[in-house]
Amino acid sequence: MPTYPIMSALNFELERFATPIGQMLLVSDEQQQVRAVDWQDYEARMLLLMRRQYKGIAVSLRDAAQPSPARRILEAYFAGDLSGVDRIQVAFGGTDFQRQVWLGLRGIPAGQVLSYGDFAQRLGRPSASRAVGLANGANPISIVLPCHRVIGSNATLTGYGGGLQRKRWLLEHETALAAFSPDPQSATLPGF
Q: Is 174 exposed, middle or buried (0-12, 13-18, 19+ CB in 10 A)?
A: buried
Among the listed residues 27, 46, 110, 147, the single catalytic one is 147
> Are 75 and 143 in contact, with CB atoms under 8 Å apart?
no
DSSP code for 67: -
Residue 88 known to be catalytic: no
CA 128 – CA 119 distance, rounded (Å): 10
- For 154-166, b/e burial (b = at least 16 CB within 10 A) is eeeebebbbeeeb
> Are 154 and 118 in contact, with CB atoms under 8 Å apart?
no
Q: Who's near 173: CB < 8 A, 6+ residues apart?
A: 78
Catalytic center residues: 147
